[in-house]
Amino acid sequence: MGRASPLVLVTLVLGFCFAGYNLVTMVMHNRAISRWVEDDSNGGVFFDPVIRMPENMRKPKTVKAPFHVALTATDAPYSKWQCRIMYYWYKKQKDLPGSEMGGFTRILHSGSPDNLMDEIPTVVVDPLPEGLDRGYIVLNRPWAFVQWLEKATIGEDYILMAEPDHIFISPLPNLGSGGFPAAYPFFYIKPAENEKLLRKFFPEEMGPVTNIDPIGNSPVIIKKDLLEKIAPTWMNVSLKMKDDPETDKAFGWVLEMYAYAVASALNGVQHILRMDFMLQPPWDFEIGKKFIIHYTYGCDYNMKGELTYGKIGEWRFDKRSFLHGPPPRNLSLAPPGVPESVVSLVKMVNEATANIPNWDAS
């Protein structure tokens, strides 16, 4: 049977149901007694879903498994300049040894083409009906993926869900393995500490809330067929959470991240947790063997190289300083003593802006 069309799927916005939960596999039940495992072969930290790491994850891969890079975006200047930098570094890393990056799509959920259509491969999808996101723009992300998966022809079997404020710092291999997607564990996604709220969306018969991974939807490398299963649930859980005042207040800007984690658990999907997937300046100091810089936090320092987080520094790099247009070329470098991660971030932004034509275009 074919997939439902977006027109049918959007009716799910009107009501949340738990249909399809009988698809949950035994992997979920083993998760309640699972543990963290260190894999010394590449420095990644894994969450072992069945006590012992599945054998196919231990063995070196002999065949490449390319993944399609997909990021959702708006047509706002703030989103555009980040997408341009992200795409620049994707192109730089894509064909280097060790990379399993395949094609690239910017999923533009503004409903209309913009001036980057010729620069970045883009598919235009519709936003949620007016007013439904209530100013929480990322609520459009799951609906965008539902539409894209329905209308696009995707040659790869895997998809990397990425974001505009990601920079590829090294060639990215496929960190997933079949039915086990790979994800970055966020320290602030804490299912066990939010059981009362999460039980509204993840009923007790589904198992302990520790079945919910401490992740968001990005970065995640996942098989396309699994994402096709999760995406409609993710959309519905997001909307249901936003409709619940208590949950909306508690989760705030990470609500949609919790929704993806819950939707995955409802569909019996567990992720391999990879600490080496990403680093986040200024809290992560070194690049090491990481693959992505996520520059979501502001980086504020005095001229002694001391972090002044929460207070605007004498030197700073914060993406929110450029809400209405791109940052200028040749940003000043950080003072001595600032961590490698922040120094590398600004150097990579400068390289991209120096080489992207018509950088100052809005």
Task: Report the 3 state secondary structure along 185-218.
Answer: CCCCCCHHHHHHHHCCCCCHHHCCHHHCCCCCCC
Distance of CA 141 to the CA centre of its chain: 10
- CA–CA separation, 110 vs 164, rounded Å? 15
- CA–CA separation, 102 vs 60, rounded Å? 20
The amino acid at 204: E
| Distances 143 to 113, 135, 258 between C-alpha atoms, Å | 18, 15, 15
The amino acid at 237: V
| Distances 2 to 5, 47, 152, 242, 275 between C-alpha atoms, Å | 9, 34, 14, 30, 37
Q: φ, ψ for residue 61 (rounded to 5)?
A: -75, 140
CB 270 within 8 A of CB 213: yes
Distance of CA 93 to the CA centre of its chain: 18
- CA–CA separation, 25 vs 265, rounded Å? 10
Per-residue pLDDT at 26: 25
Per-residue pLDDT at 22: 30
Per-residue pLDDT at 52: 38
Per-residue pLDDT at 362: 62
Per-residue pLDDT at 59: 53
Sort residue 252 into left (φ over 0), alpha (ψ -120 to 50) or beta.
left
Per-residue pLDDT at 327: 97
Q: What is the residue whose two structure tokens read 């000043």?
A: 332
Listed in sequence order, the residues at least 6 apart from 73 whose beta carbon sits closer than 8 Å to its beta carbon are: 79, 80, 83, 106, 107, 108, 109, 164
In terms of residues, how long is the chain? 362
Q: Which domains occur in the chain, in start order?
A: 64-273 (3.90.550.10), 278-356 (no CATH)
Q: Please name the residue ranges forming H helices in the chain.
A: 6-9, 26-31, 55-58, 77-93, 140-151, 195-198, 224-243, 245-251, 255-266, 340-355
Task: Centre a 10 Å sphere on the Cβ of residue 141 and count the other Cβ atoms it contains.
Answer: 28
Per-residue pLDDT at 23: 27
Sort residue 234 into left (φ over 0), alpha (ψ -120 to 50) or beta.
alpha
How is residue 279 written in tokens?
């680093």
- What are the mean pLDDT values of the chain's consecutive 10-residue runs (362 residues total)? 41 37 29 39 41 48 89 97 98 98 98 97 96 89 97 96 98 94 97 97 96 97 97 97 97 97 97 97 96 97 96 97 97 97 98 96 69
Q: What is the residue whose two structure tokens read 């543990």?
A: 35
For residue 227, the cross-strand partners are: none
How is residue 108 written in tokens?
């533009």
- pTM score, two decimals? 0.86
Per-residue pLDDT at 185: 97
End-to-end CA distance of the chain: 44
CB 233 within 8 A of CB 266: yes
